[in-house]
Amino acid sequence: MTATETLSLTEIEALAYDALVATGTAPENARPLALATAMTEADGVASHGLAYVPIYAGHVACGKVDGKALPVLSQPRPGVVAVDAATGFAHAAINKGFTELIPAARSQGVAVLAIKNSYNCGVLGVHTQRLAQAGLLGIGFTNAPASIAPSGGAKPVLGTNPISIAAPGGDGEALVLIDQSASTIAKSEVMKHAREGKALPRGWVLDAEGNPTTDPEAGLKGSMVPSGGYKGVGIALMVEMMAAAMTGASLGTEASPFSGPVGGPPKTGQFFIAIDPDVTAEGGFGERIATLVASIRDQEGARLPGDGRASARTRAARDGVAVSVATLEKLRALL
């Protein structure tokens, strides 16, 4: 059984922040990344929480991400915000972009944020959740290094390319939070199995020849299985258009891996759409979304996307989060 230590969300944020600053990340860039790390742990997505901070630190050291980069914001149209992440952390670029995106969406009814020259943004739903907490419907796209082959092919051309949508509730939190990648499983899970020497369930990955395999190393050299077959490929392609083509970021085939030190900055992108639902629904959004949610929750055993994360968030705020001692040792060694 894995040894753990319970930390509060405040302690998680502080530990992430201190480790990032100690390893070369500017304080103003470390803060939004540390906050997102705590939110990720609260949501129960440990694979992208504190366990990822040593990877971030290693990528600052090798130059895959510039920890001191200052994102550059522009607003070419009233409803369009653009941020050049300057090969720095995506979280800092997103945070800066949101300072203009949120008021623009409230003023215009809808606004978009395009980010280029960016890096792994972690759990995409953390960011759309922030838009929902601001009372907006948030839609997010982020592309990733190529790991999904097109239908009928064996060579990866698209990333796992997540898409997320978060709808606001009446309590200042996300009532619905959909966050899913275009692959059957997140690539981080395959990497985790590879590190631990564990076989994969069949249906997660294909080898370099396009054959199903349970070997994580073969899968990492091959491709991820798209969720829903050709439909998953379609989602990955849509996200690639939104997060790369629409932002001027690197395509998945041009981006360096998010794992390991090789290849320099990936220069991927993110794209967000923020909508004021009270404008489009003329004040009826709250009632409509509540009715929709009730039609799902009223069924015995039925779950709403985001319910698991919301429950984990409530527990984390009350009880803290059990963090692997091995992860904590790696982090404290960075200080």
Residue 88: is its pLDDT beyond 80?
A: yes
Instruction: Identify the pLDDT of residue 102.
Output: 98
Instruction: Identify the pLDDT of residue 204.
Output: 94
Residue 153: is its pLDDT beyond 90?
A: no
Q: Establish if 284 belongs to a structural domain.
A: yes
Residue 294: is its pLDDT beyond 90?
A: yes
330, two tokens: 């790696």
Instruction: Identify the pLDDT of residue 243.
Output: 98
User: Positive or negative CA dihedral for 47, 51, 53, 55?
Assistant: negative
Residue 112: is its pLDDT beyond 90?
A: yes
Residue 240: is its pLDDT beyond 80?
A: yes
The active-site residue out of 5, 8, 11, 47 is: 47
Instruction: Identify the pLDDT of residue 329.
Output: 96
Q: Establish if 199 belongs to a structural domain.
A: no
| CATH (domain of 23) | 3.30.1370.60
**Which H or E run contains 237?**
helix 230-240
Which percentage of the chain shows pLDDT scores above 70? 100
Q: What is the tens place of the pLDDT at every residue in 23-81?
A: 999 999 999 999 999 999 999 998 889 999 999 999 999 999 999 999 999 999 999 99
**What does the alpha-carbon distance between residue 283 and residue 151 come to, in Å, rounded to a whole number?**
43
CA atoms within 13 A on the CB side of 163: 16
Q: Are strands 212-213 and 205-206 parallel, antiparallel or unpaired?
A: antiparallel
Distance of CA 331 to the CA centre of its chain: 21
Cβ neighbourhood burial of 51 (10 Å; 0-12, 13-18, 19+): buried
Q: Establish if 271 belongs to a structural domain.
A: yes
Show the domain range for 56.
4-183+226-294+305-332
Q: Establish if 124 belongs to a structural domain.
A: yes
Residue 2: is its pLDDT beyond 90?
A: no
Instruction: Identify the pLDDT of residue 52.
Output: 92
Residue 289's pLDDT band (cuts 50, 70, 90): very high
**What does the alpha-carbon distance between residue 251 and residue 243 come to, in Å, rounded to a whole number?**
9
For the ranges 23-27, 58-62, 91-95, 204-208, the lowest mean pLDDT is seen at: 204-208
282 is known as an active-site residue: no
Instruction: Identify the pLDDT of residue 196.
Output: 82
Residue 295: is its pLDDT beyond 90?
A: yes
**What does the alpha-carbon distance between residue 269 and residue 85 come to, in Å, rounded to a whole number?**
9
Instruction: Identify the pLDDT of residue 47.
Output: 85
Instruction: Identify the pLDDT of residue 158.
Output: 97
170, two tokens: 């009446």
Evaluate whether 175 touches 137 at the Cβ level (below 8 Å).
Answer: no
Question: Furthest-apart CA pair in the chain: how many Å?
Answer: 55
The active-site residue out of 5, 11, 173, 189 is: 189
| Total of domains in the chain | 1
* 136: nearest Cα among 162, 115, 108: 108
156, two tokens: 């990866």
Residue 256: is its pLDDT beyond 80?
A: yes
Average pLDDT over residues 186-190: 82
Residue 166: is its pLDDT beyond 90?
A: yes
Average pLDDT over residues 273-297: 94
100 is known as an active-site residue: no
Residue 1: is its pLDDT beyond 80?
A: no
189 is known as an active-site residue: yes
The active-site residue out of 13, 41, 48, 118 is: 48
Q: What is the tens place of the pLDDT at every residue in 96-105?
A: 999 999 999 9
Residue 260's pLDDT band (cuts 50, 70, 90): confident
Q: Establish if 207 belongs to a structural domain.
A: no
**Which H or E run contains 77?**
strand 72-77
Q: Establish if 237 belongs to a structural domain.
A: yes
Residue 111's pLDDT band (cuts 50, 70, 90): very high
Q: Establish if 196 belongs to a structural domain.
A: no
Mind spelling out the 3-state secondary structure of 5-40? Answer: EEECHHHHHHHHHHHHHHCCCCHHHHHHHHHHHHHH
Q: Establish if 190 belongs to a structural domain.
A: no
